[in-house]
Amino acid sequence: MSRRGWLALGVTALAALAAVPLVVRRDDVLNFLFLVLLSVALAQSWNVVAGYAGQINLGHAAFFGLGALVTRTLWIAEWPVLAGAALGALAATAFALLVGAVAFRLRGAYFAIGTLALGEILRITVGNVLPEVSTLPTATIGAYRLADRYYFALALAAVAVGVVAALERSRAGLGMQAVREDEEAAEASGVGTLRLKLLALVLSTALAGLAGGLFAYYHISYYPAHPFGPHWTFDALLITFIGGVGTVHGPVLGAIFYVFLKEYLAIRWVDFHLLIFGALFITIVLLLPGGLVEAAARLRTLARRAC
Amino acid sequence: MLEVEAVEAAYGPFLALSGVTLRVGPGEIVALLGPNGAGKTTLIRCVTGLLVPRAGRIRFGGAEIVGLLPHAIVERGLAVVPEGRRLFGGMTVEENLDLGAFTPHARAGLGRGRERIYEIFPILRERRRQLAGTLSGGQQQMVAIGRALMAAPRLLILDEPSLGLAPRIVETILGVIGEINRGGVSILLVEQNVQAALGLAHRAYILEAGRVAGEGSGPALLQDPHVRRAYLGPLASLPGSRPPLP
Amino acid sequence: MILVQQLVLGLLVGGLYGLAAAGLSLVFGVLKVLNVAHGELIMLGGYGAFWLWVLLGFDPLLALPLVVAGALAFGVLLYWGLFAFVVRAHEETRIKNSLLIGFGLALATHALAVRLWTADERSITTTYAGAVLSLGPIAIPLVRLASLVLAFALIGALHLLLQRWRWGRAIRATAEDWEAAALTGIDVRRAYLLAFAIGTGLAGAAGTLVSVGYSISPSIGLEWTLKALIVVVLAGLGSMLGTFVGGLVLGLAEAASAFAFGGPYREVVGLVIFLAVLVARPRGLFAR
């Protein structure tokens, strides 16, 4: 599809999704779409740093969690929720730079270990310091409208997809892909690899922080440590890999597939969905590293040959 | 002994060998010459099983060895002294030597083999408890050769054994290579030091840009004008000429 | 005195950090595969010992060799089933894929453990579990002291194995330079398999000791992976005794920081150590 074709598709989808709350009155449908949009935003945020710049972030939940923590705290203190989310994203990015600036100077697994450590340490510490459930004040619960959350999610997902689409064609994005393919060669040909990796990290964690803010805005009550849980990182990895890591539309397809399957599995096999997804994920990494996008491309090639 | 037939090898899209054919007969010393990037090391990687060629056949002792894993090829009696020596620097000299006799076939002769290495290189007996990484370059090369000999090979491949060594040490090493050969081991010698290699070898091949560009007996190639021009420097191309006085 | 008591306890748990890290370090050093599901292997080992005690009444000391044997076998299966495919890739892809797969494996194992054994915390409480060695005002739980001693003994045994055993040397050679190892006649894939199985066996041993002196639950996996990773970063690769000392250092550092800043922040010290080590040794610890 041409660039214009993609753009038309995106705008149409956005318009259609924007109209949904006006047409559909069922909360379960809206809720399902909300989860898809949140998943798109979360997966795309991981996709930026891992899919494009090739840096495996195993503590992505830390940035999601920080966004949630800051947003929730400020929001309950009667800040506007968007201001809270912006500051949440800022906090996530600041933490990311702390780890990135140190770990990115070295190649290999340091960044992955550093982020894994950051994620777990924040989760444990937040759980220790804030053991109580965070519940919204009664007045706020009374004024709760799902449509507001839905539009926030729609806007965020659109921004996330837009960021990745812009990256795909920009000089910076091409540089990131060069870093992903062969960091040494990229460095040798004059690409500022550290700068690009940090840029990818900033974009990624800002989006993750905003997604965390959305989470805090959406849920009426949760344990503050919950959004720091490693399964959020795993969601991001899984969705991105199911769809196609390092592509614009892969995580969108992945999110639809994942939320659909998860809701289905949650009804059928309550606790088993993580086990099934774990196996699915490992299979994809080993056998189909390009995800659904690659599978589709392969099918197309096969079909063309058959004709 | 070793027959390489029309071997092609590639790293990704880049073709490193395009149809190389050569052979090493029993008891022979064969030199493999050529500029950097000609594919010498790639050929060695194919022969030792580290790289699977895209096409062609490699036979050792009459049997096909393409597709065998490196350790299985060593087990059949083909040992290599890799470029840059590749010792286990954190292990002692003796541990390095013992690892050379790791294959079941070689393990039986471990004690005797070690004694023999210490006879060839007495300095290694003194240094046997020292970490290999702390030895001088020449001594490291001795360990590398010793480690390969511990496998009790029928064919020994040496990849650039004189690289970075002082001339006196090079002489010792080359002398030992001749001695090993007289003990009945065939030798394939990859060398930058063309003069020395051709002086030692019975036959030689010249590899250029991934194909065999010439072959012949050592002394004949030494007289070949192309070889002299390309590998022995501009002065050597004029027989009888001397370096200009300073 | 509270500080000294804290430090003693830190030292005792530090021995287990060292043991946990030894397996991870061996696998990473040899296979160049970073198994972030290592903590889950520890968790499984802990459950193995726990159920041997509950169902069959096995004393943990008796269970230890059984769990290690089971873990060795499990390691072989895990290698054949998963990691043998990972090690075929080139080094950079290898690390990335192992991180991804390990992460997926960790989550799936966690889910399975919750399903099978519920999320409850468990611990083996033998008749001698409460025994304490008192040195003036300092109380040393005997079971934890025994754990430290056993951890040290296991590390020592591993060290000897790597020094003296034929395949131990082959494993070290493979860790240093797998191509050179292959060219000296070592079956590198066998060395990978052995190293991975031994790493898993060590995780089983660590899990057993954790289930005795401390407690296990399905969610301890990532925590232990993390401790092990921090110790590996701190101690570097190559020396198992160094890894053990690294574990003790982390245990002491945690205890000291918990004393200074309060219990809720004891985990933060790990991240600080991680970042500090990277700043102090920018060439990287994994580089030799």
Q: How far is C267 from chain A (nearest CA, A)?
A: 6
- Tell me what pLDDT residue A121 has: 86
C3's enclosing H/E stretch is: helix C2-31
Mean pLDDT of B104-121: 92
DSSP state letter for C216: B
Does the pLDDT value for residue C225 go beyond 70? yes
Model confidence at B54: pLDDT above 90: yes
Instruction: State the angle between helix axes of B93-100 and C166-176 in degrees (0 to 180), rounded to the nearest 10.
Output: 100
Could you tell me which of C271, C234, C277 has the C-alpha nearest to residue C24? C234
C84 in B contact zone (CB under 8 Å): no
Q: Does C284 touch chain A (CB under 8 A)?
A: yes
Q: Which residues pair with B59 in a beta bridge?
A: B3, B64
- Whether the CB of C262 is below 8 Å from some CB of chain A: the reply is no
C78 domain-assigned: yes
Residues, chain A, total?
307
pLDDT at residue C266, as a whole number? 81
| Residue A4 exposed, middle or buried by CB count within 10 Å (0-12, 13-18, 19+) | exposed
Instruction: Read off the pLDDT band of B236 (50, 70, 90).
Output: very low
- Between A66-75, C86-95, C147-156, the lowest mean confidence (pLDDT) is in C86-95
Chain A to chain C Cβ contacts (< 8 Å)? 125
Residue C183 is nearest to which of B70, B101, B106, comparing CB atoms? B70
List the CATH number of the domain containing C268.
1.10.3470
B196-231 pLDDT per residue, tens: 888 899 999 999 989 998 888 877 887 777 777 777
Instruction: Please say whether the beta carbons of B120 and C218 come within 8 A.
Output: no
What Å distances lie between residue A120 and A229, C44, C54, C244, CA to CA? 8, 20, 31, 23
* Residue B90 near residue B133 (C-beta atoms within 8 A): yes
Predicted local confidence at residue B244, as pLDDT:
43
Q: Does C164 touch chain B (CB under 8 A)?
A: no
Please tell me the predicted confidence (pLDDT) of residue B245.
44
Residue C184 domain-assigned? yes
Q: Residue B235: pLDDT above 50?
A: no
Residue B238, pLDDT score:
42
Report residue C106: phi and psi, to 5°. Answer: -60, -50
* Domain locations along chain A: 3-230
Quickly state the pLDDT bin for B239 (edges 50, 70, 90): very low
Please state which CATH number belongs to domain B2-77+153-236.
3.40.50.300
Judged by a CB distance cut-off of 8 A, whether residue B109 touches chain C is no
User: For chain C, what is the domain count?
Assistant: 1
Which pairing describes strands B186-190 and B29-33: parallel, antiparallel, or unpaired? Answer: parallel
The residue type at A246: G
Tokens of B184: 């009945």
Distance CA C124, CA C60 (A): 8
Query: Residue B196: which residues within 8 A CB-CB, separation 6 or more?
Result: B162, B170, B174
Q: In this complex, do A108 and C95 lie within 8 Å of one another by their Cβ atoms?
A: yes
Domain residue extents for chain B: 2-77+153-236, 88-152
Walk along chain A (307 residues) and give the pLDDT tens digit of each residue. 677 888 888 889 998 898 888 888 888 899 999 999 999 999 999 999 999 999 999 999 999 999 999 999 999 998 999 999 999 999 999 999 988 888 887 776 888 888 888 888 899 889 988 999 998 888 888 888 898 999 999 999 999 999 999 998 898 888 899 888 888 888 888 888 899 999 999 999 999 999 999 999 999 999 999 999 998 999 999 999 999 999 999 999 999 999 998 888 777 776 677 888 888 899 888 888 888 888 888 888 888 877 6
Are B74 and C185 inside 8 Å of each other by CB?
A: yes
Site from B71, B78, B117, B149 to mutate, C interface, most C CB atoms within 10 angstroms:
B71
Say if residues B75 and B123 touch (Cβ distance below 8 Å). no
Kindly list the distances between the CA atom of residue B75 and the CA atoms of B49, C54, C174, C175, in Å, as whole numbers in the listed order: 12, 50, 17, 21
Chain C residues lying within 8 Å of A285, measured CB to CB: 97, 100-101, 104
* Interatomic CA distance for residues B88 and B103, integer angstroms: 17
User: pLDDT tens digits for A16-30?
Assistant: 898 888 888 888 899
Are the Cβ atoms of C184 and B74 closer than 8 angstroms? yes
Size of the B and C interface in Cβ pairs below 8 Å? 71
User: Chain C: nearest CA to B107, how far in angstroms?
Assistant: 11
Residue with tokens 């030292």: C11
For testing the chain A interface, which of C91, C231, C271 should be mutated: the one with the most A CBs within 10 Å?
C271
Q: What amino acid occupies position C146?
A: A
* Domain-located, residue C13: yes
What does the alpha-carbon distance between residue A118 and residue B17 come to, in Å, rounded to a whole number? Answer: 48
If one counts every other C-beta atom within 10 angstroms of the C-beta of residue A296, the result is 15
Q: Determine the structural domain holding residue C40 and report its residue range.
A: 2-118+137-280
Cβ proximity of C74 and C188 under 8 Å:
no
Residues of chain C in contact with residue B106, where contact means CB-CB under 8 angstroms, are: 185
Q: Do C34 and A114 touch (CB under 8 A)?
A: no
C182 with B86: Cβ contact below 8 A? no
Q: Do residue B70 and residue C170 have CB atoms under 8 angstroms apart? A: no
Phi and psi at residue C32, to the nearest 5°: 55, 40
| Chain C partners (3+ C-beta pairs within 8 A) | A, B
Chains C and A, touching by 3 or more CB pairs within 8 angstroms: yes
Q: For A282, which of C92, C104, C278 is closest by C-beta distance?
A: C104
B50–C179 C-beta distance less than 8 A: yes
Name the phi and psi angles at A185, rounded to 5.
-65, -40
C127: pLDDT confidence band, cut at 50, 70 and 90? Answer: confident
**Which residue from B minimizes the CA distance to C176?**
B88
The residue among B82, B100, B92 whose CA lies nearest residue B146 is B100
Query: Any idea how long chain B is?
Result: 246
The alpha carbon of residue A49 and the mean position of all alpha carbons in its chain are separated, in whole angstroms, by: 10
Q: Are C160 and C198 in contact (CB under 8 A)?
A: no
Mutation pick from C96, C118, C230, C288 vs chain A, by most beta carbons of A within 10 Å, is: C96
Q: Does the beta carbon of C183 lie under 8 angstroms from any beta carbon of chain B?
A: yes
Task: Give residue A149's Cα distance to chain centre.
Answer: 17
Burial class for C245, CB neighbours closer than 10 Å (0-12, 13-18, 19+): middle
Angle between helices A291-306 and A250-268 (to 10 degrees): 110
Q: Which token pair is A29?
A: 């449908």
Cα–Cα distances in angstroms (integers) from residue A130 to residues B124, C265, C266, C269, in the given order: 65, 12, 15, 19
Please give the share of chain B, as a percent, with pLDDT higher than 90. 70
Neighbours of chain B (3+ CB pairs under 8 A): C
